[in-house]
Chains A and B, each alone.
Chain A
Amino acid sequence: MSDVVEKTLSALPSLLSLDSQPGAGKLSSTSKLGSLIRNITELTSKHEEEKLIKRELAALKEQVSSPNTTMKQMREAMVRAIYCEMLGYEASFTYIHAIKLAQQGTVLEKRVGYLAVSLFLNESHDLLLLLVNTVLKDLQSSNLIEVCMALTVVSQVFPKDMIPAILPVVEEKLTHPKEIIRRKAVLALYKFYLIAPNQVQHIHAKFRKALCDKDPGVMTASLHIYLQLIKESPDMYKELTGSFVTILKQVVGGKLPIDFNYHSVPAPWLQIQLLRILGLLGREDQSTSELMYDVLDESLRRAEMNHNITYAILYECVKAIYSIYPKSELCEKAAKCIGNFVLSPKINLKYLGLKALTYVVQQDANLALQHQMTIIECLDHPDLIIKKETLELLFRITNTQNVTVIVEKMLGFLKLSNDDYTIVDLVGKVAELAEKYAPDNEWFIQTMNEVFSFGGDMMQPDIPNSFLRLLAEGCESAEESRQLRLYAVDSYLAVLQKDSAHLPQRFLQIISWVLGEYSHLKEGLDVQEVRQLLMKLLDRKGVTTETRCWVLSSLMKLCEGPGADEMAQELVERWGSSLDPLLRQQAQELLCLSLDKDLRTRTLPLATTWDGLEVDSSLSFLDGFVAEALAAGAAPYKPPHQRQQEQCQEKALSLEPYGLSLPVSLSSCSLTDRQSPTLLSMSSGQSGNSTEPSNKAGSSKLNLEGVKRVWGKEGYLPHREVPEESAPVEEASSAVQSSSQQGGASDKSSMAHTEPVEQDKEKQQLASSLFVGLGSHNATSLMGKSETPSQRFRRKPRTQVSTSSSVTSEKSDSSHSSRSTVDSFLYGSLLEEEPVLPQPNTSHTPRVTTANGSSETKTQSFIPTNGTFEGEEAEEEEEEPTQTENDITSVTAHRTKQGSLIMNSDMVIVQPTMWSDQPKDWSQDDSGDLLSSGSDTHMETSPLLLLPADLRDLPHSNINTLAADQSLLLSSCHVYRDDALVLVIFLSNSGETPIQEIAVQLNCEQLEVASLRGNVIDTLDGLGTSVCRYTLVMDGAHTQVEMTGTVSYQAGPGHTQTLPFSSKLSLADFIRPLVITTEEYGKLWLSFSHDVKQNLKLLKGDRDPLVTTLDALKETLQLHIVDIIGSEGIVACRLLQGAPCLLHCRIHGDSLAVWLRSSLPGLPDCVLYYCQKALLEH
C-alpha cells in the first residue's frame, strides 16, 4: 500500500509550483487558501509565519464581520480559519460564524460550517447551545445529506444538557429506511450513552432492534453500545450470548457481503468487537463460556493468513479465550498462538505477544517459562516500549525468589526514563513488590529509598503512607520490627549526611518522621546530631512549608536531653512569628511541650505501640461542646452526602442525576490501578456516621489508623497471612542473593562485549534468576526449588470492624440455558421486544399458519409474524450450513427476501378487501362528503340507474343528481379506475316525449378530460336513460377542481334548450393506493424533496390508536398501509398512475405526527388536507 503514497514529496516547496501535481491541480491557482498555503511553505522562519498568519487572521476577521460577505465567501474563509487553527493560531472570532454557516448556509456551506464547529468547539463550549436548533432542524430535514451531517456533528460535539431536546428525533432515525442514517443514529446514541447514560436508558429495546438490523453496518455500530453495556453489567446480557456467537460464526464463515472484507478477511472490526463481547460475557461463567468454545476455536483456525489484520483478530481471540471459563484444549491453542507472536521477528507482533503474555501469565505461569529466553532478549531490547512491556510481564511473575533481580531491572529502567507517567507507574510497582516480597530489611529500605528519590513528589501518596504505616505497626516479631526501624534510622542519617539537596519533599518528610520517631532506638546516637541535621533541613531553600511542619513535629519528639531548651527557644524565635500559620502553631506547640515535660511524655510517648493507641472515633469528648452549640441555636451537623442530596432535591431542573456524592475526587487515585486506601477512609471518616475509626492526629501527620487495606494482590490481605517463615525460604533467599549477584555481574560484563557464547550463558543465568519459582514442573529453572511465596512483612493481625456492604449478587438464573436455544437462532427472539415465553420451537409453526391463513391478523400481527418467520428462517439456516461459499447467503439476504414475502402475503389479504369484496362499504363511506357539488339528495330512483356492466365491479361512488330541468335529469357517478377517474353521467328523460340531439360538453381547466362515448345522443326515448362517460386525469396537485358542463338538447323540434351543470371533484377522487414494500418505500422516500409535516388528531379505539387511525384513513382515502412498526406507520398512495405520495405517521404524545413526501409539489399538502378532514369527520 505504502508504495502508492510513497511517490511524493521530499521536495515539497518545489512541487508546489507545478499545477500538474494532483493535489495542487484540484485547487484553483487563485484560491485564497491555496495562496496562503503556498506562502507559508515558502517561509523560512517561525517568526515570518507568525507575521503572515497574523495578517491573514486580520483579513479574515474583517471578512467574516463584513455584512457584504456572501455565504460562499464565508465558506471559503472558514476553511482558511480551520487551517490557521491547525497551525496553532487561535481564530476564535470565527467560531460564531462557523455556527452561522451551519445555520443559514445551503447544504454546501453547512458541510463546512459543521466541520468547523466540530473542529473548533468541544462539547462544553457555550456556543454549541446556538447549534441545537440548527441540528434539530437538519435532523428533520428531508435532505438526506443534511440529516447525515447533523448526526455526524451530534456524535462528535453536543452539549450534554441538550441531549433531551434532540433525543426523540435521533431515536426516530433508528427506523429510518436508509442504513447510513440508522448507523449514524446508533453511533449518536452510543455517544449519548457515554456522556449521559441515564438519558438513553429507556431506549435499550431499540438498541436490540439495531442489533438485529439487516444492514451489517448498523449491526456493527450497535455493538459499540453493547460492548459498553456488557462491560458495565454482563449479567444483564447473558441471554444474548447465543446471538453474538451466531453472528460471529456467520462472519467468520464469510457470510457477509464482500464489501466488508478487509484484505480478504471478513469484517475484522466486527469480529474483534464480538470477541471482546464474548470475552466479557464468558468471564467466570462456565455455562455461557461453553456456548462459545466452538466459535472461538473456529476463529483461531480461520485466521491463518499472514497479515496484520489476522494477527489483530488472533490477539483478541487469545484474550477472549483466557478471559472466559478455561477450556484446556483452547488454552493450549491460544498459548501456541501467543508463542508465535512472541517469537515473531516483527517487532509489532512481538510487542503484542508480550502484552498477551502479560495478560495470561497469572493464569498460566508456565507460559512465561516457555519463552523465558525471548523475554530476556526483550529485556535488553533497544526499543524502550518493548522493554517496558517486558517489565510489566516480569512484574506479574514476581515472587520472593526473583524479586531482587526484577526490581533491579525496574530501577535500571527508571534511571533511563524521563517520562513522569512511566516513573510514577514503575515506582508504584517497585514499592508494591518491595513490600510484598522483600528478602531482608536492608534490601527493603534501600529499595524504598530508591523509590522515594526516583518517585519524588509525583508518586502516589499511598506509597509513603503505607511505608510509614509498615514501620509504625511493625511486623509480628518485635525484634524484627526493631531491626527494620533501626536500619531505617541508620540509612536516613547517612542520607542526610550526604548531599540531600536534590531529595524530593516526600522523601524528606519520611526521613524526618522516622528520625523523630525512632532515632532513640540507635544506641549511642547523639540526639543533638539528629537535631542538627533536621534543623539544617528547616533552613534550606526549596523546602516546602509542609515539609517544615513535618520536621518541626519531629523535633518536638526530640525535645529532650541536653540542649533541648535552647533548641526550642531558637526554633520559636525563628518560626514563632512565621507568616505561615501552620509553622507558627507548630513552633508554639513545641515551646509549650518543651516547657511542660509531663505533658510532652503524655502526648508524645516514646516507643509508641500503635496497638495501644485508642482513638475515640466518635469524638465523644466533643459531645458537651456540640450540645452547647445546639442549645445556642446552631444548625445540626449534616454529613456531606446528605447535604449534597438536599441540594439535589432543591434544584428544580435536574437533567442529570449527580454522580459520586463523596467530596473526595477518586479519579486522582485511578492513575494506575492502585487505590489509595487513605483517601478512601478519610472521606468516609469525615462523613461522621462511619464505623471505621478515623483519626487525624495532627495537621501534618499521616493518617495511619483504621486504614483498611484494599489494594491487595494475593498475600496482601490480612486473612492471607502465613503463620511461620519456614527454613527453606531462607535457603532460597540466600540462593537468590547469589544469583542476583550473578545477574548484576552479567549486566556489567554484557556491556563489555563479551563473546556470544558467554552472553548466552549469562542470559541463562539471568533467566534462572528471573524465572525461579514459576511452576513446579519447570525443566529450565536452574534454581530447582519452588516455594510458596511468602511475605516478608507480615502485618500484625488487627481486629477491625468492617462494615460489610450488603452486596446482593444475583446469580444468573438457570433459565438461561433453556432460553439460549431460542436465542441461537440468529435474530430469532431478538426482534420481539418483550421476552418470549420459554416454549420456543413448537410455537413457530402454528403461528405462521395463522398469519398466512386468516386475514384478521392483517396489520396487528405484523411484528410477531415477522419475528416468527425469521426465527424459522434462521433455524433452517442453522440446519443447513452447506451453502456454497461464493453465494453470499447472509442472513441479511434472507431477511430481505423474507420481509418482502410477508409484505406480499399481506397485500393479498388487504387488496381484495378494499377493492372488490366490499365496494359498497367503501362507496357508502365516501358518500356525499367528497362530492359536495350539486345536490346531495340521493337518487330515490336509483334502481333505474345502473352502471354499465364493465364498470360495475370497479369501486365507485353513489349516484348523485347533477342538475335537472323539466325534461332532463342529470346524474353522475364517479368510478375509480386505476389510471383515471371515470365520470359517468346519466341522462334521464323525465318526460314522456323523446328528446332529440343531446350533446354533452364538459370543461375543466385543471383536468385532462376525454370523452369516451355517449356524449352525443340522437334520441332519448321518454323515461329512457342514456349514459355518457368521461375519463378525467389529474396531473398537478389540486385540492378541489371545478368542472362545468352543458347539455344541449331539443325537447321539441327546433327548440334547443341548454342545461348547465357543474360539479366539484376533490383530490381524493384521484388518489389510488400505492402498493410497495418497505424497502421500496425507503428508496422512494429519500428521492422525494417536497414534504410537509403536521400533527393530526389521533383516533381512539379498542385497538392500538395508530392502527385505528391508519385504518380510518385507509377507509376514507385510498391509501396503502405499507408497514406498522411500533409507534410508527408508513403509508403510500399515488396520484392515479402518477406521482406517489408517501406518508410517515408516528404517534407523538396525543397526536399523530404525519410527514408527507412526494415528488409532486403541492401533493403532500393536498393529501394532508384530506387526511385532516377525514380524521376530523371520523
Chain B
Amino acid sequence: MQFMLLFSRQGKLRLQKWYIPLSDTQKKKISREVIQMVLARKPKMCSFLEWRDLKIVYKRYASLYFCCAVEDQENELITLEIIHRYVELLDKYFGSVCELDIIFNFEKAYYILDEFILGGEAQETSKKNVLKAIEQADMLQEEAEAPRSVLEEIGLT
C-alpha cells in the first residue's frame, strides 16, 4: 500500500498516512487529486479507480471516505477488506465509531492504524491482537495520567 486517506464528504482530510517518501507539496497535490476523484464518484460505481499507475480503492462509511492507494497488481478486493477491518477496529475501540471520534481522537486512530498496518503491509490481522496492543499502551497512558491530574487539581503544575 502506498498511502491511506480518510476524508469527509466535504473533502476535509481526517487522516493521512503515507507509506512512500514524498514531499509535502506532492502529498498535498496527490490528496487533492484523489479526494476530488473519489468525491466525484456516484454511489453505485466500482470501488476501484485508476490513478496514475496506482489503484485507488475506496469505500464510504457514513460521512467518511476511506481510501487506499495500492499497486496495480495488488488485489483490490483484499484492500477493500483491509479498509473494512480498520473500520471494525475503530468501531470496536471507540464503541460504534463515528466521524467525531476520529476527528477528536485522530491520534488514537493513527495508533490503531500503525498497529494494524506497518510500512504499508498488513501487520496483524487478528482484531483481538491489535486491540490488545493498543490497550496495553493506553493503560500505560492512564496510569501516567492519573497522578498528574490530581496534582493539577491542587494547582501544582
A residues neighboring B (CB under 8 Å) = 1-2, 4-10, 12, 15-16, 21-24, 26-27, 33-34, 37, 70, 72, 79, 82-83, 86-88, 90, 106-108, 111-112, 115, 118-119, 122-124, 144-145, 148, 152, 155-157, 180, 183-184, 187-188, 190-191, 217, 220-221, 224, 257, 259-260, 262, 267-270, 272, 308-309, 311-312, 315-316, 347-352, 355, 382-383, 385-386, 388, 419, 421-422, 671
Contact = CB atoms under 8 A, between A and B. Distances in A.
Interface of B: 8, 13-19, 21-24, 28, 44-53, 61-64, 75-78, 80-81, 84-85, 87-88, 91, 94-107, 110-111, 114-115, 118-119, 121-129, 133, 136-137, 140-141, 144-145, 148, 157
Contacts of A8: 62-63, 98-100
A111 B111 contact: yes
Given A22-B95, A70-B157, A272 B123 contact: no
Nearest to B136: A145
B122 A82 contact: no
A843 to B, nearest CB: 37
Given A70-B157, A347-B45, A312 B122 contact: no
Given A217-B126, A224-B121, 8 more contacts: A22-B98, A23-B102, A23-B103, A27-B105, A70-B157, A82-B106, A119-B110, A347-B47
A9 B80 CA distance: 23
B78 A422 contact: no
Nearest to B98: A8
A26 B104 contact: yes
Which of A12, A115, A144 is most buried by chain B, counting CB atoms within 10 A of its CB?
A12
A361 to B, nearest CB: 16
A184 B130 CA distance: 12
Contact of A259 (B75, B95, B126): B126
Nearest 10 pairs of A and B residues by beta carbon: A23-B100, A312-B77, A8-B98, A122-B21, A23-B101, A259-B126, A312-B78, A155-B119, A5-B61, A9-B63
Nearest to B82: A269
B133 to A, nearest CB: 6
A350 to B, nearest CB: 8
Contacts of B22: 122
Nearest to A313: B78
Given A187-B121, A421-B52, A260 B126 contact: yes
Contact of B88 (A1, A106, A155, A267): A1
A23 B62 CA distance: 15
A124 B98 contact: no
Contacts of A355: 76
A6 to B, nearest CB: 5
Which of A16, A22, A123, A349 is most buried by chain B, counting CB atoms within 10 A of its CB?
A22
Contact of B87 (A5, A33, A79, A155): A5
Nearest to A125: B21
Contact of B78 (A22, A79, A269): A269
Contact of A5 (B62, B77, B107): B62
Nearest to B133: A180
A86 B16 contact: yes
A308 B87 contact: no
B114 to A, nearest CB: 5
Contacts of B94: 22-23
B75 A115 contact: no
A280 to B, nearest CB: 12
A72 B156 CA distance: 14
B29 to A, nearest CB: 11
Nearest to B55: A385
A1062 to B, nearest CB: 45
A27 B101 CA distance: 9
6 contacts: A86-B15, A90-B24, A111-B141, A259-B126, A316-B78, A386-B46
A785 to B, nearest CB: 36
A88 B137 contact: no
Given A9-B100, A16-B100, A671 B61 contact: no
Nearest to B123: A187
Nearest to A23: B100
Contacts of B140: 107-108, 145
A33 B104 CA distance: 8
A419 B63 CA distance: 27
Given A15-B100, A112-B107, A183 B62 contact: no
Contacts of A144: 136
Contact of A22 (B46, B52, B101, B129): B101
Contacts of B87: 1, 5
Given A5-B61, A115-B111, A123-B21, A187 B119 contact: yes
B61 A108 contact: no
Contacts of A119: 16-17, 110
Given A8-B100, A106-B144, A224-B121, A86 B133 contact: no
B124 A217 contact: yes
A156 B119 contact: yes
A109 to B, nearest CB: 9
A47 to B, nearest CB: 16
Contact of B118 (A1, A5, A155, A385): A155
A717 B106 CA distance: 56
A351 B119 contact: no
Nearest to A351: B46
A253 B97 CA distance: 34
Contacts of A180: 124, 129, 133
Nearest to A191: B119
Contacts of B137: 107, 111, 145, 148
A385 B76 contact: no
A27 B44 CA distance: 36
A5 B97 contact: yes
Given A111-B137, A385-B48, A259 B76 contact: no
A422 to B, nearest CB: 7
A21 B14 CA distance: 18
B118 A7 contact: no
B50 A388 contact: yes
A308 B77 contact: yes
Contacts of B99: 8-9, 12, 23
A259 B157 CA distance: 44
A24 B104 CA distance: 7
A24 B126 CA distance: 28
Contacts of B98: 5, 7-9, 21-23
A352 B24 contact: no
A152 B137 CA distance: 13
A403 to B, nearest CB: 24
B123 A221 contact: yes
A259 B128 contact: yes
Contacts of A347: 44-47
Nearest to A220: B125
Contacts of A112: 107
Contacts of A72: 148, 157
B127 A259 contact: yes
Given A22-B95, A123-B21, A260-B125, A351 B48 contact: yes
Contacts of A115: 107, 110-111, 114
A269 B118 CA distance: 14
B61 A348 contact: no
B91 A4 contact: yes
A998 B124 CA distance: 71
A24 B100 contact: yes
B15 to A, nearest CB: 7
Contacts of B103: 23, 37
A83 B106 contact: yes
Contacts of B125: 217, 220, 260, 262, 267-270
Given A145-B140, A348-B77, A152 B118 contact: yes
A754 B16 CA distance: 48
Nearest to A112: B107
Contact of A108 (B15, B19, B118, B144): B144
Contacts of B49: 385
Given A9-B100, A190-B119, A260-B125, A312 B53 contact: no
B42 to A, nearest CB: 8
